[in-house]
Amino acid sequence: MYEYTGNIHMHSTFSDGALTIPEIAALGNKQGLNFLIVTDHQTLAGLDQGMEGYYDKTLVLIGMEVNEHSHHYLALNVRTVVPDNESNPQQVINGVNQQQGIGIIAHPFEKGSKFYHNGLTFLWTDWSVQGFQGIEIWNHLSRWRDELTGIFRGLLLILKPSLALHKGPYRETLRLLDGYQVQGKQVFAYGGSDAHGIRFKLPLTSIEIGSYEQGFRSINMHILTDQPLQNNLEHDRQLIYQALAQGNSWVACDYYRNSRGFRFEAQSPRGKWGMGSTISWHRGIDLLVKTPYPARVLMLRNGELWAKSQGTKHRFPVNRPGVYRVEAEYRRGWSWQPWIFSNPIWISE
Ligand SMILES: [Zn+2]
Ligand SMILES: [Zn+2]
């Protein structure tokens, strides 16, 4: 297995981001990211202008973010623009599916901040929709903005944006995702920076909100592939999108501890299976988890806490079917820092 790290939600000068794609790619390179997916609002201009490709060691792929005021939807691996449809987001989902793309419901829950357009939020409210591939459980910028609850706190968050990472994703979003996974639906967890790098000029200085550098060090996607990247756009694009579509991946906050090296798999005398797999129940299945640093590993079964373990190697013998996923946390001061959110393994009847 090969592991690659990337960030899959950000904006460039083709929409409301501050930097061009080559400038963004240079920052991705600096952070050691293997891939970036640029998701400008309502446009695939980067794709049309031939900007997909390797920039030094980082592969830049181009997707888009559909809809403006609500029902934001990330459309990855699409070749033509998916039109907005805020009142009927099912049409947007269908539009991505027609292109065999990967569609992700972006930041479905947000609280907003009275310091940002009087509490403006970009929510997903139509839950009658079907056929989407994922939910963005952790969005750095959205979570950062929601933490702006006061002037003093705002100043702290500008000086130290990582404060917004401490509480992890919203439980509401995770519960929602669990609901789909318990029904056996192949809906996966995704996360990203949503970096815009917007600078506000002040009389003596300027401040940057949602910087790319901070974003690329924070909420990333890690994927596992059975072949290595080959420094070839066509081949590597397919490999990355395939891993993202199959859910052999996890979302992590890499800011304090890089999650590189995390593993979650099922093993029995009959074989080994990775995240995103469905296996039929039989005796002798163990769920194996490895964390690159000592961690508290929570094993969830059907969305409920099922077992806990501490250390770096964790083994959970399975005694019944269910959908299993991992949350890992490490000790930071007096609390446990939310860190890794794996995609699940289904063990069916
Ligand atoms: Zn959005
Ligand atoms: Zn966005």
Concatenating the DSSP letter of every residue in 129-182 gives: -----EEEEEEHHHHHHHT--SHHHHHHHHH-GGGGGTT-S-HHHHHHHHHHHH
Which ligand is nearest to the Cα of residue 70, counting in written order? 1
Which ligand is nearest to the Cα of residue 193, counting in written order? 2
In a 10 Å sphere around its CB, with 0-12 CB exposed, 13-18 middle and 19+ buried, how is residue 213 labelled?
middle
Cα(194) to ligand 2 centroid in Å equals: 5
Cα(53) to ligand 1 centroid in Å equals: 24
pLDDT of residue 89: 98
- For residue range 139-192, what is the model confidence (pLDDT) as tens digits? 999 999 999 999 999 889 988 999 999 999 999 999 999 999 999 999 999 999
pLDDT of residue 233: 98
Please report which confidence band the pLDDT of residue 203 belongs to, taking 50, 70 and 90 as the band edges.
confident
Which ligand is nearest to the Cα of residue 8, counting in written order? 2
CA 204 from centroid of its chain's CA atoms: 36
Cα(122) to ligand 1 centroid in Å equals: 7
On the question of pLDDT at 209 being above 90, the answer is: no
Cα(72) to ligand 1 centroid in Å equals: 5
Cα(139) to ligand 1 centroid in Å equals: 9
pLDDT of residue 180: 98
Q: Nearest to residue 341, comparing CAs of 243, 273, 265, 264?
A: 264
Q: How far is CA 241 from CA 234, 278, 306, in A?
A: 11, 19, 31
Domains and CATH numbers, the chain: 2-253 (3.20.20.140), 263-348 (2.60.40)
Judge contact between 209 and 195, C-beta under 8 A: no
Cα(42) to ligand 2 centroid in Å equals: 11
pLDDT of residue 336: 95
Q: Six-digit token pair at 119?
A: 């509490």
pLDDT of residue 24: 98
Q: Six-digit token pair at 56?
A: 């030094």
Cα(167) to ligand 2 centroid in Å equals: 21
Cα(35) to ligand 1 centroid in Å equals: 20
Buried b (16+ CB within 10 A) or exposed e, 244-275: bbbbbbbbbbbbebbbeebbbbbeeeeeebbb
Cα(280) to ligand 1 centroid in Å equals: 37
Instruction: Report the SS3 class of residue 35.
Output: strand
Cα(71) to ligand 1 centroid in Å equals: 8
Judge contact between 82 and 113, C-beta under 8 A: no
Cα(226) to ligand 1 centroid in Å equals: 32
**3-state DSSP helix/strand/coil % of the chain, to nearest 5:** 20, 40, 40
Judge contact between 266 and 287, C-beta under 8 A: yes
Give pTM, 2 decimals: 0.97
pLDDT of residue 213: 95
- For residue range 214-238, what is the model confidence (pLDDT) as tens digits? 999 999 999 999 999 999 999 999 9
Cα(65) to ligand 1 centroid in Å equals: 7
CA dihedral 194, 197, 198, 203 (to 10 degrees): 150
pLDDT of residue 202: 81
Could you tell me which residues come within 8 angstroms of residue 234 by beta carbon, excluding any fewer than 6 positions away? none
Calculate the average pLDDT of the chain: 96
Please report which confidence band the pLDDT of residue 206 belongs to, taking 50, 70 and 90 as the band edges.
confident
Instruction: Report the SS3 class of residue 188.
Output: strand
Centre a 10 Å sphere on the Cβ of residue 105 and count the other Cβ atoms it contains.
26
Cα(145) to ligand 1 centroid in Å equals: 12
Cα(184) to ligand 1 centroid in Å equals: 27
Cα(94) to ligand 1 centroid in Å equals: 19
Cα(39) to ligand 2 centroid in Å equals: 7
Half-sphere exposure of 224 (CA within 13 A, CB side): 20
Instruction: Report the SS3 class of residue 252.
Output: strand
Proportion of the chain above pLDDT 70, given as a percent: 100
Which ligand is nearest to the Cα of residue 71, counting in written order? 1
Could you tell me which residues come within 8 angstroms of residue 2 by beta carbon, excluding any fewer than 6 positions away? 224, 225, 226, 227, 228, 229
Which ligand is nearest to the Cα of residue 11, counting in written order? 2
Could you tell me which residues come within 8 angstroms of residue 76 by beta carbon, excluding any fewer than 6 positions away? 8, 37, 39, 61, 63, 101, 102, 103, 104, 241, 244
- For residue range 302-341, what is the model confidence (pLDDT) as tens digits? 999 999 999 999 999 999 999 999 999 999 989 999 999 9
**Out of 26-35, 196-205, 243-252, which region has the weakest mean confidence (pLDDT)?**
196-205
Could you tell me which residues come within 8 angstroms of residue 307 by beta carbon, excluding any fewer than 6 positions away? 298, 299, 316
On the question of pLDDT at 204 being above 90, the answer is: no
Cα(312) to ligand 2 centroid in Å equals: 34
DSSP state letter for 205? -
- For residue range 70-98, what is the model confidence (pLDDT) as tens digits? 999 999 999 999 999 999 999 999 999 99
Cα(146) to ligand 2 centroid in Å equals: 15
pLDDT of residue 117: 85
Please report which confidence band the pLDDT of residue 207 belongs to, taking 50, 70 and 90 as the band edges.
confident
DSSP state letter for 260? T
Could you tell me which residues come within 8 angstroms of residue 262 by beta carbon, excluding any fewer than 6 positions away? 222, 250, 252, 289, 290, 291, 292, 328, 340, 342
Q: How far apart are the first and last CA of the chain?
A: 28
pLDDT of residue 200: 84
d(CA 189, CA 178): 10
Please report which confidence band the pLDDT of residue 201 belongs to, taking 50, 70 and 90 as the band edges.
confident
Cα(82) to ligand 1 centroid in Å equals: 15
On the question of pLDDT at 99 being above 90, the answer is: yes
Cα(65) to ligand 2 centroid in Å equals: 6
Cα(8) to ligand 1 centroid in Å equals: 12
